[in-house]
Structure 1
Amino acid sequence: MSHARWARALPFLAVLGSVTALGLGTSLAKQHLFPQVGALGTTALRVGFSALLVVLMWRPWRRALRPGDGWAVLRYGVALGFMNLLFYQALQTIPFGIAVAIEFSGPLAVAMAGSRRAVDLLWLALAITGLALLLPLTQGVDVATLDPVGVAYALAAAACWGSYIVFGKRLSHLHAGHSVSLGLSVAALSVMPFGVAHAGASLLSPQVLMWGLVVAAISSAIPITLEMVALKRLPPSAFGIMISMEPAVAALLGMLILHEQLDARQWLAIGSIMAAAAGSSLTVRPAPTDADASQVVT
């Protein structure tokens, strides 16, 4: 492959690698950690080890914060921590790909909140259609209906993802590695007490610790690195279009690793939400292309 072709392909490969690594790490967590320490214990391990790895990678103590940044980091980190905790709670009872699709409603809502253009009504309609196809809103439903509690957790995770983006924008003057490492540290402090209270000494099992470290590396350290490679070479709109493939990748990994089978209606719902995310990214107003905390999915 020529240098020019490689340069064009690298951002796409980086985003594909990022969403695949994130999905693989989450699938391994559900397969190997959920049975031993539950969703809360898994969250504590994943976020705790992720914070440790990213702090060692970026060494945030080398950079100073401005006055007021501490409060912004606190809100950003708490939103990040509970986004992970609530998402893992959702995974206990609903399929991986569907949980990701529902969670995407958070950033979609943020993207559309300030819009006044007619084209955005199309993306909003697609997102609402996808959610309507997924949510258990009818009576007398069959066994394929999603668990309402799991759906509620996924919607709460979506709200946290939206908050994470809003709070992350207020840290956009910081280097992405600096803000993410500080945010993950706060996230770990926010969710680890829940995991310790739920799983206790089981978290210290060598096998559990090993899987926790593996999941953290695959789910956080690798995706963050790859996304920052992509963000340096892509405008935010193009990055948003590419990252919208995440629900489909999650659904495929859930099918291959977790044996979670989706029906045609659920695949159609995932496709509608992906189209809404891609379309919203395509038509968004131009923005600076520097990576900031709100653009790094952890």
Structure 2
Amino acid sequence: MSITVQNITKTFGSQKALDNVSFTIDKGEVVGFLGPNGAGKSTMMRVLTTYYKADSGEASVNGFDVLDAAKDVQKSIGYLPEHNPLYLEMYVREYLAFNADVYRVDKSKIYDVIEQTGLSPESHKKIGQLSKGYRQRVGLAAALLHDPEVLILDEPTTGLDPNQLIEIRKLIREIGKEKTILLSTHIMKEVEAVCDRVIIINKGRLVADKKLEELREAEEQIIEVEFDYRVEEQLLHQLPNVSKVKNTGGFVYELTFSTSKDMRPAVFDFAHDNRLKTLQLSRKNKNLESLFTELTS
């Protein structure tokens, strides 16, 4: 396992930031660590990167315990914090050379990470002259300098405009072909765009840990239909994949289906077979965003 977390708890005063959290991440996975603001995401990142000591539980990165082998953990990780600590008066190459000295890596590696992160056109500039998107690239380049096995990215797209967002997501996907990545975010679309799997945390507790395909299979859709007269709910329960039937008034019914397949044709066929007139038929999906809202509300 690249990352193992077992029963981690962390409190700040009376507030429990992490409450008995456990998960594992295999080598080569790109995992989204998703939760609303204040859910405990950044705290978990700081435990894994050895900045915080957990009150209880165990965690390891690349086989190294975060407490007993903190230096080995730090060598195994490339970390991009939410607030990227850049020196704005330094030139891009100068800043990366400074980081190369810190990591004690050969200066030739600077050219590799500049190329890898698409920084070449801007590498002659001061960091303060760069757009937010390119500043994030500088942070990623610094995190990659020592060729870590694991990348931990805390809200890496915060504050980016739509074009910058697309570019950074593409870059993360490319890096994810070679590295294990744990990406913290509060945006489900971010996870859908980049990740293979999602871990959802709310109020310090893990509430879901699934592959994206598994979450999509759990998607539901709601169809609202109005017939020309009242129908027994028991009859409507004969529809395939229907999990809930609710009469919302008059001859209007809200039908919940446990499938992402469009069930409107099935409802229309049902009406035809039972000699009903369909006066109104509309569909709304309970998508991944809705599932996230349910799990964290």
Please give the TM-score of this superposition, normalised by the length of structure 1: 0.24
The structure with the largest alpha-carbon Rg is: 2
If asked which structure has higher relative contact order (CA below 8 Å, sep 6+), I would say 1
Please give the TM-score of this superposition, normalised by the length of structure 2: 0.24
Higher strand residue share: 2
Higher helix residue share: 1
